[in-house]
Chain A
Amino acid sequence: MNRQAERRQWVSNLGWAIAGAILSGPAASRGPIKTAPVWNKAALPDADERVHLLNRCTFGITPESLAEVESMGYEAWVDWQLEPELIDDSETEAVVDELYPLINADLDTMSDAYAENQFVGVSQIIGATLYRMVYSRRQLFERIVEFWNDHFNVYLFDGPVRILKLWEDREVMRKHALGRFGDLLLADARSPAMLYYLDNFSNTVEGPNENYARELLELHTLGVDGGYTETDVLEAARCFTGWSFDTSTEDAFAFISGRHDYEEKVVLGVTYPAGQGIEDGEQLLAYLAASETTARFVCRKMCVRFVSDNPPESLVDQLVQTWLDTDGDLRQIFRALFLSDEFKNSQGQKFKRPLNLMVSMLRASQAWVLTSLTGVQLNRHALITYLNRLGQNLFTWTTPDGFPDTQSAWDGSAALVSRWNMAFELAEAAMSKYARINPFDLAGEANTPGELADRLISQLLYRELSASDRKRVVDLIGEGKPENARLPTSIIIDKTREATAFLLASPWFQTY
Chain B
Amino acid sequence: MKINRRDFLKTSALAGALGACGFSASLSAMPKSGNGNVVVALFLRGAADGLSLVPPYADNNYYNLRPSTAVPAPGGGSDAAQDLDGFFGLHPALTQLHQFYTNGDLAIVHATGSPHDSHSHFEAQDIMELGVQDPLVTPQGWANRYLDLTASSEDSLFRGTAIGTGMQLAMQGDYAALGIETIENFDLLARESHKEALRTLMKATYAEDASLDTTAINALEAMDELLANNVAALQPQNGAVYDENSSLAISLMNAARLIRSDLGSEIITVDSTGWDHHDGLVASINDRATDLNAALGAFVQDLGDLMDRVTIVVMSEFGRRAYENASGGTDHGHGGVMFALGAGVNGGQVLSDWPGLEESQLYGKGDLQVTTDYRAVLGSIIQSRLQPVDLEAVFPDFSGSPLSGLMV
Identify the A interface with B (CB < 8 A).
Answer: 22, 24-32, 34-35, 37-40, 43, 198-199, 202-204, 206-211, 214, 218, 224, 230, 233-234, 351, 389-391, 398-399, 401, 407-418, 420-421, 424-425, 428, 430, 469, 472, 476, 479, 494, 497-498, 501-502, 505-507, 510-511
The answer to whether B247 touches A207, judged by C-beta atoms less than 8 angstroms apart, is no
The answer to whether A409 touches B166, judged by C-beta atoms less than 8 angstroms apart, is yes
The answer to whether A211 touches B201, judged by C-beta atoms less than 8 angstroms apart, is no
The answer to whether B165 touches A214, judged by C-beta atoms less than 8 angstroms apart, is no
Q: Which of A214, A389, A494, A502 contacts B332 (CB 8 A)?
A: A214
The answer to whether A28 touches B166, judged by C-beta atoms less than 8 angstroms apart, is yes
The answer to whether B201 touches A472, judged by C-beta atoms less than 8 angstroms apart, is yes
The answer to whether B325 touches A209, judged by C-beta atoms less than 8 angstroms apart, is yes
Report the Cα distance A424→B205, complex, angstroms.
16
The answer to whether A224 touches B120, judged by C-beta atoms less than 8 angstroms apart, is yes
A419 to chain B, nearest CB (A): 10
A164 to chain B, nearest CB (A): 16
Q: Beyond A209-B278, A417-B219, list 5 extra A-B contacts (CB 8 Å).
A: A24-B250, A31-B169, A31-B172, A206-B326, A428-B191
Flag the segment in B101-109, B182-190, B371-379 that touches A.
Answer: B182-190
Report the Cα distance A30→B122, complex, angstroms.
8
The answer to whether B205 touches A469, judged by C-beta atoms less than 8 angstroms apart, is yes
The answer to whether B279 touches A26, judged by C-beta atoms less than 8 angstroms apart, is no
Report the Cα distance A40→B169, complex, angstroms.
26
Q: Per-residue CB proximity of B79-101 to A under 8 Å, as 1/0?
A: 00000000000000000000000
Judge if B305 is at the interface, Cβ distance under 8 Å. Answer: no
Q: Per-residue CB proximity of B173-185 to A under 8 Å, as 1/0?
A: 0000011110001
- Chain B residues near A204 (CB-CB < 8 A): 326
The answer to whether B332 touches A38, judged by C-beta atoms less than 8 angstroms apart, is no
Q: Per-residue CB proximity of B44-71 to A under 8 Å, as 1/0?
A: 0110000000000000000000000000
The answer to whether B185 touches A472, judged by C-beta atoms less than 8 angstroms apart, is no
Asked whether A40 and B210 contact (CB < 8 A) given A26-B273, A28-B166, A211-B331, the answer is yes
Report the Cα distance A408→B250, complex, angstroms.
23
Q: Which of B45, B181, B198, B201 contacts A27 (CB 8 A)?
A: B45
B120 to chain A, nearest CB (A): 5
The answer to whether A424 touches B279, judged by C-beta atoms less than 8 angstroms apart, is no
- Chain B residues near A35 (CB-CB < 8 A): 211
Report the Cα distance A198→B332, complex, angstroms.
13
Q: Which of A224, A409, A425 contacts B189 (CB 8 A)?
A: A425
Going nearest first, the 9 A-B pairs with the smallest beta carbon separation are: A207-B326, A28-B166, A412-B179, A412-B167, A37-B211, A414-B179, A391-B165, A413-B219, A202-B327
Report the Cα distance A224→B89, complex, angstroms.
36
B58 to chain A, nearest CB (A): 27
- Chain A residues near B13 (CB-CB < 8 A): none
Main secondary structure of the interface of B (DSSP, over half): loop
The answer to whether B327 touches A207, judged by C-beta atoms less than 8 angstroms apart, is yes
- Chain A residues near B201 (CB-CB < 8 A): 472, 476, 502
The answer to whether A472 touches B204, judged by C-beta atoms less than 8 angstroms apart, is yes
Flag the segment in B30-38, B123-131, B348-356 that touches A.
Answer: B123-131
Asked whether A421 and B172 contact (CB < 8 A) given A416-B216, A469-B205, the answer is no
21 A-B interface contacts by CB (under 8 A): A29-B169, A32-B135, A34-B139, A38-B210, A38-B211, A204-B326, A224-B120, A391-B165, A410-B166, A411-B215, A412-B162, A412-B167, A413-B179, A413-B180, A413-B218, A414-B163, A414-B167, A414-B186, A415-B181, A476-B197, A511-B209
Q: How many residues of chain B get a CB closer than 8 Å to chain A's CBs?
A: 74
- Chain A residues near B189 (CB-CB < 8 A): 421, 424-425, 428, 430
Report the Cα distance A24→B251, complex, angstroms.
12
Report the Cα distance A195→B69, complex, angstroms.
23
B231 to chain A, nearest CB (A): 14
Q: Which of B135, B163, B206, B276 contacts A399 (CB 8 A)?
A: B276
Q: Which of A39, A389, A399 contacts B46 (CB 8 A)?
A: A399
- Chain A residues near B185 (CB-CB < 8 A): 389, 414, 417-418, 421
Identify the B interface with A (CB < 8 A).
Answer: 45-46, 117-123, 125-126, 129-130, 135, 139, 141, 162-169, 172, 178-181, 185-191, 193-194, 197-198, 201-202, 204-206, 208-212, 215-216, 218-219, 222-223, 245, 247, 250-251, 271, 273-274, 276, 278-279, 325-327, 329, 331-332, 364-365
Residue of A with least CB distance to B178: A413
Report the Cα distance A29→B186, complex, angstroms.
19
A110 to chain B, nearest CB (A): 23
Q: Which of B126, B167, B186 contacts A417 (CB 8 A)?
A: B186
Residue of A with least CB distance to B223: A417
Report the Cα distance A511→B211, complex, angstroms.
10
The answer to whether B279 touches A209, judged by C-beta atoms less than 8 angstroms apart, is yes
The answer to whether A413 touches B331, judged by C-beta atoms less than 8 angstroms apart, is no
Report the Cα distance A115→B84, complex, angstroms.
45
Q: Which of A233, A415, A507 contacts B205 (CB 8 A)?
A: A507
A217 to chain B, nearest CB (A): 10
Residue of B with least CB distance to A399: B121
Asked whether A31 and B126 contact (CB < 8 A) given A43-B208, A412-B167, A414-B165, the answer is yes
Asked whether A37 and B326 contact (CB < 8 A) given A27-B45, A30-B125, A412-B215, the answer is no
Q: Which of A233, A234, A507 contacts B212 (CB 8 A)?
A: A507
A443 to chain B, nearest CB (A): 16
- Chain B residues near A25 (CB-CB < 8 A): 247, 273
The answer to whether B179 touches A209, judged by C-beta atoms less than 8 angstroms apart, is no
Report the Cα distance A479→B180, complex, angstroms.
32
A176 to chain B, nearest CB (A): 25
The answer to whether A209 touches B329, judged by C-beta atoms less than 8 angstroms apart, is yes
- Chain A residues near B167 (CB-CB < 8 A): 29, 408, 412-415
Residue of A with least CB distance to B135: A32
Report the Cα distance A27→B270, complex, angstroms.
10
Report the Cα distance A22→B172, complex, angstroms.
29
- Chain B residues near A28 (CB-CB < 8 A): 164-166
- Chain A residues near B119 (CB-CB < 8 A): 214, 230, 233
The answer to whether B278 touches A224, judged by C-beta atoms less than 8 angstroms apart, is no
Q: Which of A27, A202, A206 contacts B279 (CB 8 A)?
A: A202
B251 to chain A, nearest CB (A): 7
Asked whether A22 and B245 contact (CB < 8 A) given A29-B166, A199-B329, A469-B205, the answer is yes
- Chain A residues near B206 (CB-CB < 8 A): 507
The answer to whether B278 touches A211, judged by C-beta atoms less than 8 angstroms apart, is yes
- Chain B residues near A224 (CB-CB < 8 A): 118, 120, 122-123
B147 to chain A, nearest CB (A): 15
The answer to whether A26 touches B247, judged by C-beta atoms less than 8 angstroms apart, is yes
Residue of B with least CB distance to A354: B165
The answer to whether A418 touches B181, judged by C-beta atoms less than 8 angstroms apart, is yes
